[in-house]
Amino acid sequence: MTHPFKKAGYSHGIYEQSSTIKNEILGEYRLTRDGRGWRYGRAIKALTTGKMTYATQQNAAHLNEAILAAVAIGEHTLDLTITTGGVLEEDELRGGYFQIQHGTGQGQNLLIAGNTTLAVGGATIQIALDDPIQIALDTTSKYSLIRSPWFDVTMHTTDENFATGVPAIPVTLDYYAWFQTHGVCNVLDLNSIAVGCTCILSATEGAIATVADTAIDADVPIVGTKFAAAGTSTEYGPVFLQID
């Protein structure tokens, strides 16, 4: 079943990285005593301390697929058919979600505990659910396999995206680490952000920017508020993150 918020007993320190996932799950949220919030994730490229990261895009091959046989309430394990297989490694979906998009049972959003490997061009996959099916499914039901936003986080130059937080240490490709999403953080400044200004993603890799005076771009997410001192372009400075 879905587990309650964990307050202690983490296997992975804030200033550590690991080549294995240890005992955390992707997207797991933790608080430090000073009020900072962190999410557990995996890097798809080498990441730099103090630079904002973003979620990679969902594979369209795993969206809006048909349920081909009835699934009863209470089922924890599902064998699913995928029309066009995009590669999934074992347990890549752990910490992600099984969602019913359409038809009978629509609206369900269930945490995935694990999955089998899906090869190139593969057609079937088995998933294990952390919580069981709550509403029975039938052949009108369509599902999507939604990875955790914190699987394969990256830095890039597309500002229209979902922010996944700032690493406190350099993170190696394919390693796991904690990403700060709330509270006081030291972040790369693109354009000398003034105190009190809203901070958003920018089109410069890893940097945040200020919102233009004339309008807020609805496609670019707000990530925090500048405080303490005005920023200096291309330098790092204090921001109160508000992703979470």
Give the pLDDT band (50/70/90) at residue 161.
confident
43-70 confidence digits (pLDDT tens): 999 999 999 999 988 888 889 999 999 9
111-147 confidence digits (pLDDT tens): 999 999 988 767 889 999 999 999 999 999 999 999 9
181-190 confidence digits (pLDDT tens): 999 999 999 9
Indicate the residue among 146, 166, 192 that finishes a domain. Answer: 146
Is the residue at 11 inside a domain? no
**136 and 71 belong to one structural domain:** yes
Is the residue at 151 inside a domain? no
| pTM of this structure | 0.89
**164 and 230 belong to one structural domain:** yes
Is the residue at 133 inside a domain? yes
Please report the DSSP string for 142-166 in residue order: EEEEE--TTSSBB--S--SS-EEEE
**164 and 210 belong to one structural domain:** yes
**CA 163, CA 37: separation in Å to the nearest integer?**
14
**37 and 101 belong to one structural domain:** no
> Which pLDDT score, from 0 to 100, does residue 59 have?
80
**165 and 132 belong to one structural domain:** no
Give the pLDDT band (50/70/90) at residue 214.
very low
Query: Based on the structure, what is the number of domains in the chain?
Result: 2
**CA 83, CA 38: separation in Å to the nearest integer?**
36
Is the residue at 4 inside a domain? no
175 and 27 Cβ atoms separated by less than 8 Å: no
Give the pLDDT band (50/70/90) at residue 169.
very high
**49 and 117 belong to one structural domain:** no
Residue 62: DSSP 8-state:
G
How many C-alpha atoms does 125 have within 13 Å on its Cβ side?
33
**Which token pair is 92?**
């890549």
203 and 159 Cβ atoms separated by less than 8 Å: yes
> Which pLDDT score, from 0 to 100, does residue 48 have?
96
Is the residue at 226 inside a domain? yes
**Which token pair is 236?**
């790092």
Is the residue at 21 inside a domain? no
Contacts of 146 (CB under 8 A, 6+ apart): 58, 96, 97, 98, 99
Indicate the residue among 146, 177, 210 that finishes a domain. Answer: 146
**Which token pair is 9?**
């007993």
pLDDT, average across residues 166-180 = 97
Is the residue at 68 inside a domain? yes
Buried residues in 3-41 as b, exposed as e (16+ CB within 10 A):
eeeeeeebebeeeebeeebeebbbbbebeeeeebbbbbb
Indicate the residue among 114, 146, 178 that finishes a domain. Answer: 146
**Which token pair is 152?**
């394969």
**234 and 209 belong to one structural domain:** yes
Full residue range of the structural domain in which residue 121 is found: 60-146
